Amino acid sequence: MNSTGDLNGPDLNPTAVLVIVGPTAVGKSAVAVAVASQLGGEIIALDSRQIYRFMPIGTDQPEKKGQGRIPHHLYGIREPDKSISSGEYARLVEQKINVIFQKGNHPILCGGSGLYFKAVTEGLFEGSTSDPTIRQRLKEDLKEKGADALLRKLMKIDPEYARIVHPNNHKRLLRALEIHEITGIPPSEHFKKQKGKSSLYRFFSAYLRASIEHLEGWIGERTRKMIEAGWVDEVKSLLKLGYSGLAHPMDSLGYRQIMDYLEGKVDFDEMVTLINIETRQYARKQLKWFDRERVDIRIDVFDKNRIELSTEKIVEKFTRFILT
């Protein structure tokens, strides 16, 4: 019996880590909780925005009252003006994995960040360094020329990687150009070389996938619920705390549109429409990313409310994986 009180979970293998990934709004969090309940697991966020404080609604962090007896880690722990690299995130995840194994429970990673997924499961590429001078110059280029101009530059350098970088994800865009300037090698080539450099853990990846047609409906429904839950007031509070649009996570999906609404640049209906459009664009990029990844199990989700079907498949396959 493990510390969560589960009597039926598989015997613990202190190297096997379950990773649940997929596009936004596909229902990853609910499935992760259901799987954790059966396995005796604890959930670790694998998300580039859910790590930030004061942003639970807009980043769709699991509600504390809804987490029940399942511990959650790396949600809402970092100040919004403190950026985090994929390397630092990977190290935080590894620390949490170790702690969870020591408690006798199963670590379950859950999120939609393809870059963090790679950093955690495959390790960082050699020479993954940063140059403050180059970074500052690129930031100035971004301010003067705009994100579209920098994305076109990345397209010439690395069209493969540029196709999955959203122009509003300034951090990833700048980092890709910085990597190329430092190493002279396109980011996508680094990612290919880093395969096989993972840690001592054995990762089992479950990819929850849905058609963009299904996701569009679920995205619209989720946006409505998030706004009803107080998303606009959340942005107001962040602005009052001094976190302007220049703070890294404030360029997250929806926050920019809500700030435009608060400034009178768009009306309420336009704001909602723009949030849904940008979220759908992001979901398409996530699908493109994970469709190319080598995963252990792919589950096509047709009704995200029937989480028991996905849960059953993941538990069955992961149990077999643990015993091999």
* Per-residue confidence band for 4, with pLDDT thresholds at 50, 70 and 90: very low
What pLDDT is recorded for position 45?
A: 97
Residue-wise pLDDT for 210-223, tens only, equals 999 999 999 999 99
Whether residues 157 and 245 fall in one domain: no
**Are 111 and 31 in a shared domain?**
yes
The pLDDT of residue 115 is above 80: yes
Read off the pLDDT band of 68 (50, 70, 90). low
CATH of residue 185's domain is: 1.10.20.140
Cβ-in-10-Å burial (0-12, 13-18, 19+) of 308 comes to exposed
3-state DSSP call for residue 30?
helix
Number of H helices, E strands in the chain: 13, 6
pLDDT digits (tens, 9 = 90+) for 116-165: 898 888 775 544 556 778 888 898 899 899 989 999 999 999 998 888 77
The pLDDT score that the predictor gives to residue 109 is 98
Residues 155-177: what's their mean pLDDT? 84
Establish if 4 belongs to a structural domain: no
Same domain membership, residue 167 and residue 42: no
Are 153 and 299 within one domain? Answer: no
For residue 8, tell me if it sits in a domain: no
Give the DSSP letter of residue 108: E
194: DSSP letter: T
Looking at the fold, whether 166 and 284 belong to one and the same domain comes out as: no
Write down the pLDDT at residue 7. Answer: 37
Count of domains forming the chain: 2
Residue 9 has pLDDT above 90, yes or no: no
First to last CA, the chain: 21
CA distances to 37, 43, 70, 202, 260 from 322, rounded to whole Å, are: 17, 18, 21, 9, 49
Query: What pLDDT shows up at residue 76?
Result: 94
Same-domain pairing of 80 and 108: yes
pLDDT the model gives residue 93: 93
Same domain as 71, residue 89: yes
Residue 34's CATH number = 3.40.50.300
Please compute the mean of the pLDDT values over residues 228-256 and round it to a whole number. Answer: 89
Comparing C-alpha atoms, which of 234, 314, 284 is closest to residue 41?
314
Q: Tell me whether residue 10 is in a domain.
A: no
Q: Which residues form the domain of 105?
A: 16-125+201-323
